[in-house]
Structure 1
Amino acid sequence: MWLQQRLKGFPGLLSSSWARRLLIGLLLFLIFYWYLGAERRWSFLGGSSVPGGAAGECLQTEIHMWKSIVERGEGIYKSPEEPLDTPFVTGNGHILIDIDSNRLWVASSTQPGSAPVHQTEHAPRIGVHLMGERAEARATMLRFRKGAVLSVRCASPAAVQSPRDCVSIREEFIAHRSRPNVFLQRIHINNPSDRPAPVEISASSPAPKSRFSSSTDMVGDGEVELSSGTVQVENNQVVMVVVVTRKLKSRFQVPAKSEYSDNILSVVWTSEPIESSKLEGTFSKLRDGAKKEMEELVRVDVNDLVQDHQQAWNDLFFSGVEMRKITDSHTPSGRTVNNTLYYILSSSMAPLLDRRLSGEERARLESSLNYADHCFSGHATMHAENLWPERVSSTAQILQLVTLWTLTLQKRGCKVLVAAGAHGAMQGMVLSFGGLQFTENHLQFQADPDVLHNSYALRGIHYNRDLINLAVLLDGEGKPFLHVSVRQQETPVKLYACEAGCLNEPVELTSEVKGHTFPVMVTQPITPLLYISTDLRHLQDLRHTLHLKAILAHEEHMANRYPGLPFLFWFSVASLITLFHLFLFKLIYNEYCGPGAKPLFRSKVSSKREDDHFSSLDVS
């Protein structure tokens, strides 16, 4: 009853002009407040526009360049505002480090094609923390071309409100590409505040029942931490692991308005699978080898180590796949492709980078890399979602993916590329993506004509010491065409190419910047869309051996392949529409023109007579 009385009085309340103004103002404020959005609302009410307060704002300033790197397809990152459930790892085929879980994975074999599939209980990442209670925000990035994981943390005391007074800790984690036993953690601390920043550096202690133990040792004049343990493998055998890590001061201070940089070097030596009875002798051998390598590393400039590592990764990613325009949901994105390439390369050894490799063995591997006969046989893997997964959420899934790729390449004629390690894996994956195959006399592009509505480029395809770039592009009308360019090496070799059917005279490929274009022709029966060879006569003779029924332009092929609905369907629809209108016309005709039909128009006189008639009936 009380509520009903109040509701009855509500219209009277609105009759007041000040009440109406107040209500209109409140509605306008709510609309404006909703329009601002969550982050702007907080800023409008006097808070920070970035979650995390001063530390969050400092973090956004530190990582503002990362977005452009991601847009170029050269990395991925996660932050409090943009979480990402994917492993951030660095590896070289011998070791693999999962930065988030702080776990070391090792390989039990030095043969190319084997991966670091054994997880150890050793924690390779050294903890760097600011002492005291502080608000902290963190972001992590995976840089493909640097083969590194970058970490940025911003910390501020609770009393600090300005992001300019936050202390930032930048770390870079590197499993060295050309030195398979080396793991490097770089540290840079920036303290712009007016007070010193106390820092604590600590390593994770082994669990009570851990297979690993640690002790302190000396290498030269420096102190190192020596960790050792075993990993159980099949046949009741174990893999012995010894890690030597350079020690830093456990506690120190970074003065106000200053910076601090240092590097933590680790050397990881592993054994082949051995019996438990051989542990003692194996441990001594691995310990001495790791300490000796650490002595050599201490004398090397760390910047040179990093430069060699980054150059090796840049050389690997000179080849690759670039996604330009995707028009369906089945084709992997550029991020998915680059993630997969990085994960496979991080888990693959690189024998071509081994300084101990003999000249004869190096020449053999390079020869197989330059012409991998019969690789890649079969259809293209572009739409194989298990080979190019959109989501990888753990290191174990990475290693399963490596196993699947290795098996696929070996079964599709690419064993020589698998034996070439990371460089061969990159070539095999690029060849497989587009359906490129080496035969005895030529390289052929046998992509499915029905999927050429996507635009992509295959970079750095090795062919007799030359590097070929092949792209599927779309013109202004959406019609696909092929673009080929060549990067010739010191000793130029003539290359020739012709489109499907090779009816036209083969074109000599040169190193011109503009490259060469070829139309997409589709033959019946289906044959490769492009042939590339060093033998001009071979391509000229090829046209006589294909025995084709027809050669169509791509748009003609698609029109024949998808001609639309049959004529009978459209004839049936037109007939039904015609019959419906005839039936409707008949109903209207019978209503107004048939026997007993009512007149369509009535005169005023007849209308008046009818009205008078009905009026007299009402009176009576």
Structure 2
Amino acid sequence: MWLQQRLKGLPGLLSSSWARRVLIGLLLFLIFYWYLGAERRWTFLGGSAVPGGAAGECLQSEIHKWKSIADRGEGLYSTHSDPLDTPFVTGNGHILIDVDANKLWVASSSQPGSAPVHQTEHSPRVNVHLVGRRAEAEAYLLGYRKGAVLSVRCASPAAVQSALDCVSIREEFIAHRSRPNVYLQRIHINNPSDRVANVDITPSSPGSRSRFSSSVDTLDDREVELSSGTVQVENSQVVLVVVVTRKLKNRIQVAAKSEYSDNILSVVWTSEPIESSKLEATFSSLRDGAKKEMEELLRVDMKELVQKHQQAWMDLFSSGIEMRKITDSNTPSSRTVNNTLYYILSSSTAPLLDQRPSAEERARLVSSLNYADHCFSGHATMHAENLWPERVSNTAQILQLVTLWTLTLQKRGCKVLVAAGAHGAMQGMVLSFGGLQFTENHLQFQADPDVLHNSYALRGIHYNQDLINLAVLLDGEGKPFLHLSVRQQEAAVKLYACEAGCLNEPVELTSEVKGHTFPVMVTQPITPLLYISTDLRHLQDLRHTLHLKAILAHEEHMANRYPGLPFLFWFSVASLITLFHLFLFKLIYNEYCGPGAKPLFRSKIGYTSGFQHLVSTLPALFTSAVDRKETDQNLAIRESSGGTSSERILGFIRRQVEVNMLEPFTGVGADSFRHASPVLTLRSDSTRSPAKEKTTAATPLRSLNRSFSAGLLCPGSNRDELRVFEHADLSEDFQSWAQFDVHGSHEVVLLQQKQSLPRVFLKESMS
């Protein structure tokens, strides 16, 4: 009741001018608040624009360049607000560091193809954190072309409320590509505030049950930390691991408005699987070797060391796979492809970058890399989901993936590429993705023609001394074609190419920027889509050895492969639909226009069986009237006329009004019903529809169309109303009795208008 009274007073409240002004101002504020957006709303109300407060704002400003790196497909990053279930690792085939989990994995063999499959209990990451109570926000970047994991942390002391005063700690974790035993952690601290920042640098201490122990030693007047331990392998053997790390001060003070940078070098040496009895002798050898390498590194310029590492990774990614347009869900995305390539390369050694192999061994590796005969045999691996997994959630899955790729390449004729280490693994994966295969005299592209609706590029394919870029592109109509370009490295060697079947003269490939295009032709039986060779005569003779039945354009092949449903099927469907609509039209026509058709509209109050029986008695009444030669159009049979038909009809009217007619009509109350009189009226079409031709006294009664109404005459307070509950038309030919049409209506007529109605046909008082 209280709410109802307040709502009733609301129109009066809004009638005042000040209330309207307040309402309009509130609406404008809500529109402005919605227009600001989610982030600006929080800032407008005095809060931080991003989660994490001042530290979160500082983090966003630090990583704004990472988004462009991820968009170019050169890395991916993870933040606390947008985490990725992806391991952030760096490795070189000899060691593998899981930065997020702070775990070190080592290989038990230096042979190519052997991944670092042994997890140690050593924690390679040194902890760097701001002293005191603070709020922190952290993000990681996995850089493919840098071969490193980058970390950014923004620390905001409790008293700091501005992002400009947050201390940022940048770290870069590198497993050096050309120095397989070297691990580097670079630190850069920026203190833009007006106070001194105290930063603790502490190594992760091994657990009480750890197999690793550590001690402090000196090397050229510098302190180093020496850690050693074992990893249990098969046959009761162990792998001995020795780690020498340059030790920094436990606490560093970064002055106000200043920066601090340093590098934490680590050297990791491992042994082959050995017996426990040989641990002491092996430990002395590994310790001396690790300390000697550390001495060399301390004299090396760190910037030059990092540049060599980054250049090695950029050379590796000069080859690769670029996904441009994907039209199905089975094709791996660009992120999936780059992730897989990076994980495989991080777990593969690089003999070509190592200085230890002899000149002859290096020449053999380069030769196998430039022409890997019979690699890659079999179908393309583009749609092999186990080789290009969309999700890799931990380091163990990375190592399983490396094992699967190594086995696949070895079984498909790529053993020489596996022996070439990371460079060979990249070549083998690129060849397998597109279905490229080296034969004795040429390189052939044998991709499945049915999957060429995807657009992708294979770059940096080694062929002799040149690098070939092959792309599957789509024209404006969605038809695929091949684009080929060459990057000549040293001495110019002529290359030739021809499309499927080699019916046209082979084209000489040049180093032009625009490259060369070839149509996609499909042969019957299926043969490679493209041939590349240094021997022109070989390609000219090749056309005579293929023995083809037909050569089709790609669109013709797809039309023949997927012709769709036959013409007879569509003709049958169209015929059934047409016949159904014709049958439906016939039903509708017979219902409303044919013989015995029903009228288009009917009353919402259905006829009862009693009322239909009442209607069925009227023809007999009309017949008796005709027999008495009553020619008046508005016949009246009053109560005094008696007769069996009249009494029966009067009884029916009373019962129908009391039982059937009154119940669905809620406008008549109980009091009105007790004083109401049932009424039945009869009229001709000329009376009901003045627009029609009027009937005359000479019109035979048998040919007249009649209608009647049955209802209640209800007395009101000021006037009486005639409530007509049922209205029926009798379109009856009394000579043939062939048609009997009844439809109902519902209306209320004022008593003053009763004079325009036909004369009362039957009337009985209900008293």
TM-score (norm: length of structure 1): 0.96
SS at match of 1:205: coil
- Matched AA of 2:453: H
Aligned twin of 1:502: 502
Post-superposition Cα deviations, 1:211-230, rounded to whole Å, max 9, x if no partner, equal 00000111122110000000
**TM-fit CA distance, 1:590:** 2.7
Structure 1 residues 401 and 13: alpha-carbon distance in aligned structure 2, compared to 1, 3 A threshold = farther
Aligned twin of 1:441: 441
Structure 2 residue runs of 5 or longer lacking an equivalent are: 601-684, 696-703, 710-756, 763-767
- Matched AA of 2:108: S
Is 2:472 the partner of 1:472? yes
- Matched AA of 1:177: R
**TM-fit CA distance, 1:180:** 0.1
Aligned twin of 1:325: 325
Of 422-431 and 560-569, deviating more is: 560-569
SS at match of 2:501: coil
CA distance in 1, matches of 2:393, 2:36: 35
Is 2:601 the partner of 1:605? no
- Matched AA of 1:17: L
Aligned twin of 1:286: 286
Aligned twin of 2:344: 344
In the TM superposition, what are the counterparts of 1:32-71 in structure 2 within 5 Å?
36-71=36-71
Is 2:101 the partner of 1:101? yes
Structure 1 residues 586 and 271: alpha-carbon distance in aligned structure 2, compared to 1, 3 A threshold = same
**TM-fit CA distance, 1:185:** 0.6
CA distance in 1, matches of 2:599, 2:299: 113
- Matched AA of 2:118: H
Structure 1 residues 607 and 254: alpha-carbon distance in aligned structure 2, compared to 1, 3 A threshold = farther
SS at match of 2:177: coil
SS at match of 1:190: strand
Post-superposition Cα deviations, 1:511-557, rounded to whole Å, max 9, x if no partner, equal 11110000001111111110001111111111111111111111111
CA distance in 2, matches of 1:412, 1:537: 28
- Matched AA of 2:545: T
Aligned twin of 2:460: 460
CA distance in 1, matches of 2:25, 2:558: 61
Of 289-298 and 581-590, deviating more is: 581-590
Post-superposition Cα deviations, 1:483-526, rounded to whole Å, max 9, x if no partner, equal 00001121111111000111100001111111000000111111
SS at match of 1:547: coil
Of 55-64 and 28-37, deviating more is: 28-37
Structure 1 residues 593 and 64: alpha-carbon distance in aligned structure 2, compared to 1, 3 A threshold = closer
Post-superposition Cα deviations, 1:156-181, rounded to whole Å, max 9, x if no partner, equal 11221111111111111100000000
- Matched AA of 1:489: Q
Post-superposition Cα deviations, 1:223-267, rounded to whole Å, max 9, x if no partner, equal 100000000001110000000000111112011111111111000
CA distance in 2, matches of 1:618, 1:515: 102
Structure 1 residues 565 and 33: alpha-carbon distance in aligned structure 2, compared to 1, 3 A threshold = farther
Aligned twin of 1:363: 363
Structure 1 residues 611 and 11: alpha-carbon distance in aligned structure 2, compared to 1, 3 A threshold = farther
**TM-fit CA distance, 1:443:** 0.5
CA distance in 1, matches of 2:521, 2:76: 38
Aligned twin of 1:172: 172
**TM-fit CA distance, 1:110:** 0.6
Aligned twin of 1:16: 12
SS at match of 1:605: coil
Aligned twin of 1:485: 485
CA distance in 2, matches of 1:10, 1:117: 76
Aligned twin of 2:584: 584
In the TM superposition, what are the counterparts of 1:99-178 in structure 2 within 5 Å?
99-178=99-178
SS at match of 1:418: helix
Aligned twin of 2:739: none
Identity %: 83
SS at match of 1:235: helix
- Matched AA of 1:525: P
Post-superposition Cα deviations, 1:426-485, rounded to whole Å, max 9, x if no partner, equal 000000011101111111101111111111100000001110000001111111100000
CA distance in 2, matches of 1:252, 1:596: 106
Post-superposition Cα deviations, 1:167-202, rounded to whole Å, max 9, x if no partner, equal 111111100000000000111111111111111110
SS at match of 1:108: coil
SS at match of 2:285: helix
Larger gyration radius, structure 1 or structure 2: 2
SS at match of 1:560: helix
**TM-fit CA distance, 1:353:** 0.6
CA distance in 2, matches of 1:362, 1:552: 45
SS at match of 1:261: strand
**TM-fit CA distance, 1:8:** 3.0
Post-superposition Cα deviations, 1:246-299, rounded to whole Å, max 9, x if no partner, equal 011111201111111111100000000000111010000000000000011111
**TM-fit CA distance, 1:17:** 3.5
Structure 1 residue runs of 5 or longer lacking an equivalent are: none
Is 2:568 the partner of 1:568? yes
The root-mean-square deviation of aligned C-alpha atoms, in Å, is 2.1
Q: Which has the higher contact order (CA 8 A, sep 6+)?
A: 1
Post-superposition Cα deviations, 1:394-415, rounded to whole Å, max 9, x if no partner, equal 0111101101111111111111
Aligned twin of 2:408: 408
